[in-house]
Structure 1
Amino acid sequence: MGPAGPIAVTGQEARALEALIESGAAGVTSLEVSSWAYRLGAYIFDLRHDYGLSIDTLREEHDDGWHARYVLRTPVVIADAVA
């Protein structure tokens, strides 16, 4: 369920949402899901704008610049997963 009731998320956005749920407060980075999420930022954008989910972007500095860590803030319950 999303913030306004049940939603159906499919495709790569569903995989990204599952990764966000599983990571909990630790969040997820592109590197952590690089085997399948080639455009994690785009999937996060869709989850925010198409489904109304609150997802924070934390900026993590490193020697070569920075990268984003995404943390799901909206409580989400998976009611029924379809394979």
Structure 2
Amino acid sequence: MAHSPGRTPGSIAVHLPRDVVLCTGDAVAGVGRVMQGVFNTGHTHPRSSFRRLAALSPAVACFGAPVTVGTAAVLRAAAG
């Protein structure tokens, strides 16, 4: 688990390194385009959480519809 404060201070993400899977909670959102969670804009903690999650280089990211192709690059690009 990774502490990933976003909309709420106690938010977490679940990282399964052996399976290269990341469940992001509401830190990440997107349908057709990956972005910072829509309820997390305008705050500094969510942006740094997003960057830390992107740095984990997952093969699959789960948030709504999972990202399963080029996941690490998609998250890094969206994290800025």
Question: What TM-score range do you get, normalising by the shorter chain?
Answer: 0.3 to 0.5
CA radius of gyration, larger in: 1
Q: Which has the higher helix share?
A: 1
What TM-score, normalized to structure 2? 0.34
Specify which structure has the bigger relative contact order, considering alpha-carbon pairs within 8 angstroms and separated by 6 or more residues. 1
- In the superposition, the TM-score normalised over structure 1's length comes to 0.33
